[in-house]
Chain A
Amino acid sequence: MLPAGPLAGVRVADFTWVVAGPVCTRILADLGAEVIKIERPDALDFGDRRGGLTGSLMRGKQSIVVDLRRPGGIDVARRLALAADVVVDNFSARVMPNLGLDHDSLACERADIITMRMTGFGLTGPDRDQVSYGPTLQALTGYTLLMGDPDGPPAGFGYSYSDLAAGNLGALAVLAAVWRRRRTGRGTRIDLAQQEALASLLGPILLDRAAHGGTSRATGNASQEGADAPHGVYPCAGADRWLAIAVLGDAQWQGLRAVIGNPAWAAEARFESAAGRVQHAPELNRRLASWTRTQDAEAAMAVLQEAGVPAGRVGDARDVCARDPQLAARGHFVDVATPDGGTVRIDGPPFLLSDTPAAVRGPGPLLGEHTDAVLARVLGCDDGEIARLRADGGVR
């Protein structure tokens, strides 16, 4: 039995779908909140709901199926929202107001309600009704264009990083609102525009353009945290094996030189300073790659690390999930028991709290697994009312 989490006693009515919203509420569930996932009868999933991709998004949540196309379903949804402390959705801006589930509609009955609206573009502004997915927002904010070689075509993100970025920031926003409510008794209306969340994470790049104007250049694998070289991803022995090496400072350059056997070219004066190394970065990259090609990526990583040089093999899914001793030691992936007596492996939260753990508190729920239980426990429905609601089709 896990110790109670920091959000024990906080109930979340979770109207989210796809990825960004579920990422937000899974962190709340990890922290011990009671997360009730209100799902459509034809809810999307990515396969196995217990584990896998869907299971990792749904971990520790309860599922009730509510048909929001039926008045009975909308009524149940509203009662669940009013019984909750936090209401989260990531629909388009107009959906929750149309259902009577927006902040103003709920706050007149629950003044301390926290509503979290995660839309693509926000609740105000001329683009508020535009449609978007993670890749759309990555394209609009500059990530897609600027990832890649300076002279090559865009190569930005093979996945929806935006959904993770917005979901994680969304969890932070909810936590801050819960803190504020404990202090003041007040609710909060949270307007998270995923475009803005993603833009804020551009960091100094966007501030540079804001201060100076000018045109951004694609970064390739060059350093974004101060000018130095060599800095990049280098081919190693074997098929599609790569090693990231980041020299940042003279000491690390000297460490790298020693590891590769102090070749004569590396002792040249033009490589002594960071400015010189950056000026000759293409040559350094070529020479370093001719060494890495003969090396096993993991062996070279270990030798470089022993010499104080930041280096890491490029980990694919198998490396990260099944072969990485460090993530294993942190307990990042956990085997979670399922009600049928099996287990599923799910990734857990990456932040470890020493006293009140954030942890995977259960597998993903099957669709509608908790419909009866939630109606009884949260809304106080007796068997007769549950049967009536089911017969009406508002819940499944």
Chain B
Amino acid sequence: MTSLDDGPLAGVRVLDLADRSGALAGRLLAGLGADVVLVEPPEGSALRTVPPFYDGAPDTERSLFFWFYAAGKRSVVADATLVARLAAAADVVIDTGPPGATEALRAAHPRLVVAAITPFGQRGPYRDWQASDLVAQAMGGMLAVNGHADGPPLQALGLQAYHQAGVFAAIGVVAALLARETSSRGQLVDISLQAAVTASLEHVPGMFHQSGIVPVRQGTLHWTRHFRVGRCRDGWVLHCTLGDWTSLLEWVKADGMAADLDAPAWEEAPHRKAHAEHCFDVLDRWALRYTVDELHEGAQLRRIPYAAVRAPEALLRDPHLADRGFFVPIEHPDLGVTVPFPGAPMRLGATPWRTTRPPRIGEHQEAVVAEWITS
């Protein structure tokens, strides 16, 4: 029985066979209320060996890497025979095996929606090549536009190739479930890490197709040339020359630091964009007299989209996120600790984002077999 408060995908059964490259897909579907069952070998998922570990001690029940992706999922230990029986009862299978690995499964179960996440997709000349998150970012075009101009191309923080693949896989799965309502047939959702990255660039393909422009990496200077990071008294701040320029200029002028920026030409955004380096150089000299918080708060009062350049841990102390209950306390009784888990990426009405304690190895063996197979 499911109730309306169980999440929009309540009642959808997902068998999660994914490695770390596809682990977010099941996490997202679980957050939305699907019953996601993670299949593990007897020694536990390989994700359990990835650091960091709680209190630093390597242990299959202490990997925070595993915790993040497995929260909200249930765990069974299954061999090929049990996997086949579970697949027969599932609506969705998420797999990260090599191209073609799920063809037999799809043939045996025409109603099954199969998301296959591979480095480069199911077909094409690179289909059998290997990737990692870094390699997928390189091949997809993300690395080339990040980093300082005089340094190497730079990866994104936080495995974003894997994460975009996971998001697109979840999108494809729900779309395929909707299609199945009318066709009564499942289908293959073919996800390529590389293509997921290419689809998560902002300006790169469009500018090339429009004008033949090849965007380059230029540090924190945004491609629109309206944002750049600068130093201030106690850290770093993001300058922005969009929004209420007049208010920003009045502030800088009042401090006697506007240099030539009070010339009328600077009132026009295209001028600020064309001469962005000079504009930001002046603002950098001005910002040195302020703290991060003074600049962030002062700018927001003036409706200027400045931002503090913060570390992730600042989110844990952010009063706004606390007010919204972004972090969800999850108790880990074996370790006697309660850890605030990062919560919902989005909130769907009254249905909560499901974040339950990451499972122990095979913790839900009997329950899943009873619910999925024998009932």
Of B143, B148, B208, B339, the residue contacting A314 (CB under 8 A) is: B143
Q: Contact at B339–A211, with CB atoms within 8 Å? A: yes
Bound Cα distance A231, B131 (Å): 12
Q: Contact at B346–A350, with CB atoms within 8 Å? A: no
Q: Is B90 an interface residue (CB 8 A)?
A: no
Q: Contact at A203–B8, with CB atoms within 8 Å? A: no
Bound Cα distance A136, B226 (Å): 11
Bound Cα distance A202, B158 (Å): 5
Cβ proximity bits B199-210 to A, threshold 8 Å, 1 near / 0 not: 111111111111
Q: Contact at A200–B345, with CB atoms within 8 Å? A: yes
Of B132, B167, B198, B324, the residue contacting A169 (CB under 8 A) is: B167
Q: Is A305 an interface residue (CB 8 A)?
A: yes
Q: Contact at A155–B146, with CB atoms within 8 Å? A: yes
Give the segment of B75-83, B172-180, B274-282, B362-370 that binds chain A.
Answer: B172-180
Q: Contact at A7–B151, with CB atoms within 8 Å? A: no
Q: Is A66 an interface residue (CB 8 A)?
A: no
Q: Contact at B156–A147, with CB atoms within 8 Å? A: yes
> Which has the most chain B C-beta neighbours within 10 Å: A55, A199, A328?
A199
Asked, given contacts A170-B346, A223-B134, A313-B138, whether A352 binds B189 with beta carbons under 8 Å apart, the answer is yes
For A, the interface residue count at a CB cutoff of 8 angstroms equals: 155
Of A6, A122, A196, A311, the residue contacting B178 (CB under 8 A) is: A6
Cβ proximity bits A162-189 to B, threshold 8 Å, 1 near / 0 not: 0111001111110111111011101011
Q: Contact at B187–A144, with CB atoms within 8 Å? A: no
Of B136, B178, B203, B310, the residue contacting A145 (CB under 8 A) is: B310
Asked, given contacts A216-B313, A325-B125, whether A351 binds B172 with beta carbons under 8 Å apart, the answer is yes
Interface residues on B, range: 35 or more
> Which has the most chain B C-beta neighbours within 10 Å: A46, A204, A349?
A204
Q: Contact at B151–A142, with CB atoms within 8 Å? A: no
Q: Is B45 an interface residue (CB 8 A)?
A: no
Asked, given contacts A161-B200, A350-B198, A351-B171, whether A325 binds B126 with beta carbons under 8 Å apart, the answer is yes
Q: Is B323 an interface residue (CB 8 A)?
A: yes
Bound Cα distance A126, B318 (Å): 10
CB distance from B16 to the nearest CB of A (A): 16
Interface positions, chain B 119-144, Cβ under 8 Å from A, are 119-127, 129-141, 143-144
CB distance from B127 to the nearest CB of A (A): 8
Bound Cα distance A86, B336 (Å): 44
CB distance from B97 to the nearest CB of A (A): 16
CB distance from A206 to the nearest CB of B (A): 5
Q: Contact at B179–A141, with CB atoms within 8 Å? A: no
Interface positions, chain A 291-324, Cβ under 8 Å from B, are 305, 308-322, 324
Residue of A nearest to B175 (CB): A6
Q: Is A379 an interface residue (CB 8 A)?
A: no
Q: Is B85 an interface residue (CB 8 A)?
A: no
CB distance from B114 to the nearest CB of A (A): 9
Of A155, A180, A191, the residue contacting B220 (CB under 8 A) is: A155
Bound Cα distance A219, B133 (Å): 14
CB contacts (< 8 Å) of B227 on chain A: these are 133, 135-136
Q: Contact at B199–A349, with CB atoms within 8 Å? A: yes
Cβ proximity bits A130-171 to B, threshold 8 Å, 1 near / 0 not: 111111110111111111110011111111110111001111
Bound Cα distance A54, B208 (Å): 12
Bound Cα distance A53, B167 (Å): 22
Q: Is A244 an interface residue (CB 8 A)?
A: yes
Bound Cα distance A158, B134 (Å): 17
Q: Is B195 an interface residue (CB 8 A)?
A: yes
A-B contact pairs, 18 of them (CB 8 A): A6-B178, A124-B324, A134-B202, A139-B229, A144-B220, A146-B312, A159-B222, A199-B326, A204-B68, A205-B158, A207-B67, A213-B313, A223-B134, A246-B135, A315-B139, A327-B198, A347-B206, A350-B191
